[in-house]
């Protein structure tokens, strides 16, 4: 494409830019190419000639927002759109991005000054910038080399630490201390830069200058330091994860938080490692030589100047380190839209909700998946498909990945909606495989081992920043998995003091820190998935659960579901497991074909997690009746009451019922959804004591789902029409259930084994005898 002719036609304006840039030949050509690209999108006379594949609206909307909104200063352009428009300019930008970035911003300034002159002039101080997203050149952290400095690329990783937002001096105007002459605006390329000499020819000052922060051409910006760590899946065998520091500016600050998997677009840069230039001993010596007034003046000067540089280092030998200047930060879980949009919407409370941005094609795919004949069974088969059987455990993990509905009281006390699950099993029963599959298939999953985890590693720790010396909070596993799942393997190997540290995170979903002068309450809205071995390596059926596991009663009551997997010898089961393993070794992933692909399954979960179903009156009555039944059975039986039937069990039933309703994309929690949750709870209770616990009359949760939950149409009018005739049948089934519940309440021991019935009868006779004796006295 001939850029020169297009520039001549459009008459590129030469307004004074906010930053003085010395334009060379290559820089001018890049600036003109970017100006023509933006002008053809904004100017109505050029829109017809624009490339058809480019979506005009997303760039035009950003330009309008930058010209009118003070909080926005960044225009994001997809790299493929510009590279398709001008291949020569895009090639030059890709291999020398750091050099051409000021010219790209200059083109944006010229477009805003020409087409949005009135609104743009009223903004006041503004340094607009144009950045790119969706850059195909994606590198690993350990693949970044010195030869790539300044080149446009992207890196992927997990955020482990973020610093506070600090001011940065972008352009400075200085005043001479001898004659008072003000200098031209001076760019600050990552370090404090003063003018080389005074502008007055008669003044010979070359070192004594003072920054003028109130000058109209002096500009400050925000910056934040982010520590990025390699993703677990990208670490080579036998290597430790590498980290790299990211520098985010302007709209890129406060976008990523610890635990986010992100893709950062920008360029590698080299900065001096100031922290190691001045050792601790030298710092103390300098502090002793300075008086209190001098130290206060130095701190005040640093606060005014923002990010100062290296003028106090003298001729010391410089040591450098590699950093990454991130211009755009996007979500690494398949969403190429900016994470900034969710942060900007936090003013209306939207940050408390999980954002779901689905395209029309994705919504249509979710609708088709919802119409499956046996939806619950199909989704359960997608959970860890390589593991043979254990359908009840898979159903529990599926409900955990969806979660319930988080609520809050009038006093703003949070009620958790996340589901905690514990798997107790003999060795070689696929417990760790369950945990690793869940950690790799949720948006924010963290896998850790209990013996290698400490209390600070799970919650948070206070560290000192090497550059600034400030104390910062470094997130632990529970904070990194905020709004996700934290998987802790070998939970029984943890020390008791480390288990106590997660009490608050499991129920209140917060982490309180009061150490090293920092007192804070951090969010840990995560689901906990734990796996452990029984005491002695083999589950003893003759003992209750609390005698088989090394876990305290408070933590045990915080788990919504607890499953026991016993390794039993059976010819049919052994043959089926052997056949499954051999087919996996022979054919790999082709041996198992789940109903939905991994991408579709994750898309369905991502959508259903954002739903908020409400409890119906019939469901409330059913939950209350079931809870009273469980409490009565627990009081009349001789099993230990240390671990299960508490008030937390009632909340667990509510959360499980809401999760089932989410899977069916229902606006209300119906009795059929409660029946599925109760049957899952019944099977969880029965595996704990290896006895039958009667809650409902259905022996299979998938049978309960197939009998009680039909495929609901997504159209609201059709849903109301089909719900009308089902109400009568629901009331009849509800009446039948209430009659059965009354019989169970009157004779709760009729479903118990013979030995239990005799025990209940003896206890009843003893109580009657005691009461008669009291009456006689």
Instruction: Give the right CATH number for 383-568 from 3.40.50.300, 3.40.50.150, 3.40.718.10, 3.40.720.10.
Output: 3.40.50.300
Distance of CA 724 to CAs 56, 371, 493, 674, Å? Answer: 47, 20, 54, 20
- The confidence score (pLDDT) of residue 7 equals 41
Residue 487's pLDDT band, with cuts at 50, 70 and 90, is very high
pLDDT greater than 50 at residue 25: yes
Joined together, the tokens standing for residue 208 give 């004594």
Residue 438's pLDDT band, with cuts at 50, 70 and 90, is very high
If DSSP codes are grouped into helix, strand and coil, which group holds residue 512?
Answer: strand
In the chain, CATH 3.40.50.300 sits at 383-568
Which residues partner with 158 through β-bridges?
Answer: 229, 261
pLDDT greater than 60 at residue 334: no
pLDDT greater than 80 at residue 92: yes
Local structure of residue 709 (DSSP, 8 states):
-
Average pLDDT over residues 343-354: 37
Q: Name the least confident of 172-176, 251-255, 453-457, 716-720.
A: 716-720
- The confidence score (pLDDT) of residue 695 equals 43
b/e per residue 236-263 (b: at least 16 CB within 10 A): eeeeeebebbbbbbbbbbebbbbbbbbb
Average pLDDT over residues 204-228: 87
Q: Name the least confident of 61-70, 310-319, 553-562.
A: 310-319
If DSSP codes are grouped into helix, strand and coil, which group holds residue 381?
Answer: helix
Q: Name the least confident of 3-17, 474-488, 613-627.
A: 3-17
Q: Name the least confident of 121-130, 377-386, 694-703.
A: 694-703
Q: Which residues contact 37 (CB under 8 A, 6 or more apart)?
A: 82, 85, 86
Closest CA to 194 of 221, 168, 171: 171
Average pLDDT over residues 124-129: 73
The CATH T-level fold of domain 3-133 is: mini-chromosome maintenance (MCM) complex, chain A, domain 1 (3.30.1640)
Residue 420's pLDDT band, with cuts at 50, 70 and 90, is very high
pLDDT greater than 60 at residue 469: yes
If DSSP codes are grouped into helix, strand and coil, which group holds residue 646?
Answer: coil
Average pLDDT over residues 399-413: 85
Residue 731's pLDDT band, with cuts at 50, 70 and 90, is very low
Average pLDDT over residues 365-371: 88
Distance of CA 670 to CAs 403, 419, 594, 619, Å? Answer: 17, 19, 28, 6
- The confidence score (pLDDT) of residue 721 equals 35
Cα dihedral sign for 703, 382, 597, 334?
positive
- The confidence score (pLDDT) of residue 629 equals 85
Q: Which residues contact 484 (CB under 8 A, 6 or more apart)?
A: 259, 442, 443, 444, 445, 446, 526, 527
User: What rounded mean pLDDT belongs to the chain?
Assistant: 76
- The confidence score (pLDDT) of residue 303 equals 47
Cα dihedral sign for 62, 64, 67, 69?
negative
Burial classification of residue 712, based on how many CB atoms lie within 10 Å of its CB (0-12 exposed, 13-18 middle, 19 or more buried): middle
pTM of the model: 0.69
Most confident stretch, 17-21, 48-52, 739-743, 759-763: 759-763
In the chain, CATH 3.30.1640.10 sits at 3-133
Q: Name the least confident of 462-466, 491-495, 685-689.
A: 685-689
Q: Name the least confident of 101-115, 174-188, 395-409, 678-692.
A: 678-692
In the chain, CATH 2.40.50.140 sits at 141-352
Residue 274's pLDDT band, with cuts at 50, 70 and 90, is low
Question: Do the beta carbons of residue 532 and residue 491 sit within 8 Å?
Answer: yes
Architecture of the domain whose range is 141-352: Beta Barrel (2.40)
- The confidence score (pLDDT) of residue 275 equals 54
User: DSSP for 523-587?
Assistant: E---EEEEEEPPGGGS--TTS-HHHHS---HHHHHT-SEEEEE-----HHHHHHHHHHHHHHHHH
Q: Which residues contact 471 (CB under 8 A, 6 or more apart)?
A: 462, 463, 464, 465, 516, 517, 518
Dihedral angle, C-alpha 756, 759, 761, 762, nearest 10 °: 170
Between 473 and 53, name the one with better pLDDT. Answer: 473
State the Cα angle at 664 between 662 and 667, rounded to 5°: 60
- The confidence score (pLDDT) of residue 258 equals 83
- The confidence score (pLDDT) of residue 696 equals 41
Instruction: Work out the number of other CB atoms within 10 angstroms of the CB of residue 704.
Output: 24
């Amino acid at each position: 494409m001939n850029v020169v002719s297009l520039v001549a036609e459009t008459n590129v304006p030469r307004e004074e830019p906010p930053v003085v840039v010395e334009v060379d030949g290559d820089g001018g050509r890049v600036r003109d190419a970017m100006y023509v690209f933006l002008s053809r999108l904004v100017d109505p006379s050029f829109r017809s000639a624009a490339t058809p594949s480019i979506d005009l609206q997303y760039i035009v909307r950003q330009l309008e927002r930058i010209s009118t909104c003070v909080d926005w200063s960044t225009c994001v352009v997809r790299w493929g759109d510009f590279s398709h428009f001008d291949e020569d300019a895009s090639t030059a930008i890709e291999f020398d991005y750091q050099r051409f970035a000021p010219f790209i911003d200059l083109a944006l300034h010229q477009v805003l000054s020409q087409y949005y002159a009135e609104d743009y002039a009223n903004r006041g101080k503004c340094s607009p910038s144009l950045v790119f997203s969706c850059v195909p050149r994606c590198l690993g952290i350990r693949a970044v080399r010195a030869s790539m400095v300044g080149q446009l690329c992207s890196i992927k990783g997990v955020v482990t630490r973020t610093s506070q937002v600090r001011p940065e001096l972008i352009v400075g105007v200085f005043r001479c201390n001898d004659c008072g002459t003000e200098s031209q605006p001076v760019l600050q390329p990552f370090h404090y830069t003063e003018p080389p000499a005074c502008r007055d020819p008669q003044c010979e000052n070359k070192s004594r200058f003072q920054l003028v922060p109130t000058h109209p051409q002096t500009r400050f910006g925000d910056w934040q330091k982010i520590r990025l760590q390699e993703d677990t899946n990208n670490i080579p065998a036998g290597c430790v994860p590498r980290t790299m520091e990211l520098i985010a500016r302007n709209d890129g600050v406060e976008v990523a938080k610890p635990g986010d998997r992100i893709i950062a677009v920008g360029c590698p840069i080299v900065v001096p490692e100031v922290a190691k230039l001045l050792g601790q001993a030298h710092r103390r010596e300098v502090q002793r030589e300075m008086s209190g007034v001098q130290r206060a003046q130095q701190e005040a000067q640093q606060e005014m100047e923002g990010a100062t540089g290296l003028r106090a280092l003298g001729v010391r030998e410089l040591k450098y380190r590699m950093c990454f200047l991130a211009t755009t930060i996007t979500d690494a879980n398949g969403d190429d839209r900016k994470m900034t949009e969710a942060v900007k919407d936090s003013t209306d409370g939207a940050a408390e909700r999980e954002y779901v941005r689905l395209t029309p094609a994705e919504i249509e795919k979710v609708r088709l998946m919802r119409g499956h004949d046996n939806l619950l069974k199909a989704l359960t088969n997608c959970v860890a498909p390589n593991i043979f059987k254990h359908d009840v455990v898979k159903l529990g993990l599926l409900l955990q990945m969806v979660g319930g509905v988080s609520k809050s009281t009038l006093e703003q006390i949070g009620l958790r909606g996340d589901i905690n699950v514990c798997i107790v099993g003999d060795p070689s029963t696929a417990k760790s495989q369950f945990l690793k599959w869940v950690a790799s298939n949720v948006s924010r999953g963290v896998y850790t081992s209990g013996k290698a985890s400490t209390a600070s590693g799970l919650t948070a720790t206070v560290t000192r920043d090497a550059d600034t010396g400030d104390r910062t909070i470094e997130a632990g596993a529970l904070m990194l998995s905020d709004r996700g799942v934290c998987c802790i393997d070998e939970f029984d190997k943890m020390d008791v003091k480390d288990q106590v540290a997660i009490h608050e995170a499991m129920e209140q979903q917060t982490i309180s820190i009061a150490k090293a002068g920092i007192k804070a309450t951090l969010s840990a809205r995560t689901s906990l998935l734990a796996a452990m071995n029984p005491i002695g390596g083999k589950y003893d059926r003759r003992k209750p659960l609390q005698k088989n596991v090394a876990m305290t009663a408070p933590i045990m009551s915080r788990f919504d579901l607890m499953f026991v997997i016993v390794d039993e010898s059976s010819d049919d089961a052994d043959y089926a497991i052997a056949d499954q393993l051999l087919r996996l070794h022979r054919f790999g992933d082709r041996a198992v074909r789940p109903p939905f692909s991994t991408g579709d399954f994750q898309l369905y979960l991502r959508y259903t997690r954002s739903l908020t179903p409400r409890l119906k009156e019939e469901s409330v009555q059913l939950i209350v009746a079931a809870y009273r039944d469980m409490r009565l059975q627990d009081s009349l039986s001789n099993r230990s009451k240390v671990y299960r039937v508490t008030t937390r069990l009632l909340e667990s039933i509510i959360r499980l019922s809401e999760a089932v309703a989410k899977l069916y994309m229902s606006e209300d929690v119906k009795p059929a959804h409660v029946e599925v949750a109760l049957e899952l709870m019944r099977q969880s209770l029965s595996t704990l004591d290896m006895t039958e616990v009667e809650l409902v009359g259905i022996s299979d949760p998938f049978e309960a789902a197939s009998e009680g939950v039909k495929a609901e149409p997504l159209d609201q009018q059709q849903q109301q029409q089909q719900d009308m005739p089902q109400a009568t049948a629901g009331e009849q089934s509800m009446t039948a259930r209430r009659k059965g519940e009354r019989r169970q309440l009157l004779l709760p021991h009729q479903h118990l084994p013979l030995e239990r019935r005799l025990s209940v009868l003896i206890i009843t006779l003893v109580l009657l005898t005691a009461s008669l004796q009291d009456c006689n006295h």
